[in-house]
Amino acid sequence: MQIGIWGFRMTRKMREGTVELPNGLSMHYYEWPGNGPKLLLLHPTCGYGRIWEWLADALGDKFHIFAPDQRGHGYSGRPNGSYSADEYADDAELFAEAVGIDRAIVFGHSLGSRVGQVFAARYPNRAYALILTAPHLSNFYMTREDAKAVLETAASNLHHPERFASREQAFTYMRARWPWTPDPDEALNHRIDYNFHHHQDGSVSPHYDIVRVSQGLTHLSDDLRPYAAAVKCPVLILRAASGKLSSQDAIELAKFWGDARVVDVEGTYAVQLESPVATAEAIAEFAGAIDVK
Q: Decide if pLDDT at 3 tops 50.
A: no
**pLDDT attached to residue 5:** 35
Q: What is the mean pLDDT of residues 15-32?
A: 97
User: What domain range is 222 assigned to?
Assistant: 2-289
CB within 8 Å of 183: residues ≥ 6 apart? none
Q: Decide if pLDDT at 56 tops 90.
A: yes
Q: Decide if pLDDT at 70 tops 70.
A: yes
Instruction: Label residue 179 by pLDDT band (50, 70, 90).
Output: confident
Q: By the 8 A CB rule, do 107 and 283 touch?
A: yes
| CATH code, domain carrying 276 | 3.40.50.1820
Work out how many domains the chain is built from and give that number. Answer: 1
- Select from 43, 177, 218 the least CA-distant residue to 113: 43
What's the mean per-residue pLDDT of the chain? 93
Q: Decide if pLDDT at 182 tops 70.
A: no
Q: Decide if pLDDT at 216 tops 80.
A: yes
**pLDDT attached to residue 94:** 98
State pLDDT tens for residues 218-274.
999 999 999 999 999 999 999 999 999 999 999 999 999 999 999 999 999 999 999
User: Structure pTM?
Assistant: 0.94
Q: Residues in the chain, how many?
A: 293
Q: Please state, in angstroms and as integers, the Cα–Cα distance from residue 101 to each residue in 38, 55, 147, 171, following that order.
A: 7, 20, 36, 36
Q: By the 8 A CB rule, do 90 and 22 touch?
A: no
